[in-house]
Structure 1
């Protein structure tokens, strides 16, 4: 029975990774990926912090390797996904996952992007610490609101609750 549950978890994780990879380029403006925030919040509520983090890391790597997106794909996703999942795990409220995504991506991810992009570009002449914050914050807020509206409906379905039970026991 335990291996059956593990296969289900990995399958759901793979589906979430595929959805994130396919949907994140939609509505994407350089440095602002609201659909990534939609999937981060959804994954956080559906699967919890660790699986949401794995989803964000794998998707960021795929975006960088296959779509040529700079390391902002990584810094913009991992903090929000994990913090959204952590706050949801603690409080079990969808809106707490939204707060986690906004703080994680909009604040922590944007600030972590500065040293990463200085390293990536080899120059700090054109960059300053808060250069990514407006776009990251905007993308995180808009994507999180969309996710919250989707979760209002999804969280009432039996299938969603059944999947959650796999990850939150």
Structure 2
């Protein structure tokens, strides 16, 4: 895949995640769950790799914050999950590995990272178990959607460009 195609796909995934997150959400404990971001993380991790997936998550978080539809917690949650989704897929070549990486990164690691992050940048003094349920619900639902979509995309052979091509 050449650079122009890769950047175009990255822009498309960013647009889907940004717009989709404003349309599809549900309450998950103390926060809102945005499964579209997690689905895009899984798909981008599998189809483009960990680097582009992290960039997509960062730009999506930036756009959502500028538009007022996201919080600062979108950065660690999206970026850690996107990296692990792409990295685990790259190492195992298993689509379910990308989904597990997204849940582990966004649902567990990012919720633990959110505690000092929220205290320093947002002035919120909350414990780890405050963020964990909401992050897990959001990442589990989105990872499942992303896993199903990426399996269909590859099975239908509509994605011409595979990792390492």
The TM-score with structure 2 as length reference comes to: 0.91
Q: Residue 21 of structure 2 aligns with which residue? A: 24
Q: Residue 164 of structure 2 aligns with which residue? A: 168
Could you tell me whether the CA contact under 8 Å between 1:13 and 1:51 is conserved in 2? yes
Q: Which runs of 4+ in 1 moved over 3 A?
A: none
Report Cα offsets for 1:110-166 as digits up to 9, x if no partner: 111111111233242xx1122111010011111111111222211113331x122xx
Q: Residue 72 of structure 2 aligns with which residue? A: 71
Q: Distance in 2 between matches of 1:128 and 1:32?
A: 19
Q: Does 1:157 align with 2:156?
A: yes
What SS is found at the alignment partner of 1:159?
Answer: coil
Unaligned runs of 5+ in 1: none
Q: CA RMSD in A?
A: 1.5
* Aligned pairs, number: 161
Unaligned runs of 5+ in 2: none
What SS is found at the alignment partner of 2:2?
Answer: helix
- Please say which structure displays the higher CA radius of gyration: 1
Q: How does 1:98-109 map to 2 (within 5 A)?
A: 98-109=99-110
Report Cα offsets for 1:47-70 as digits up to 9, x if no partner: 010000000011011111112522
Q: How does 1:1-169 map to 2 (within 5 A)?
A: 5-25=2-22, 26-29=24-27, 30-124=31-125, 127-160=126-159, 162-164=160-162, 167-169=163-165
Could you tell me whether the CA contact under 8 Å between 2:57 and 2:75 is conserved in 1? yes
Q: Distance in 2 between matches of 1:95 and 1:81?
A: 14
Q: 1:106 to 1:123 in 2, by over 3 A?
A: closer
Report Cα offsets for 1:59-99 as digits up to 9, x if no partner: 01111111252211112201100000000001111000001
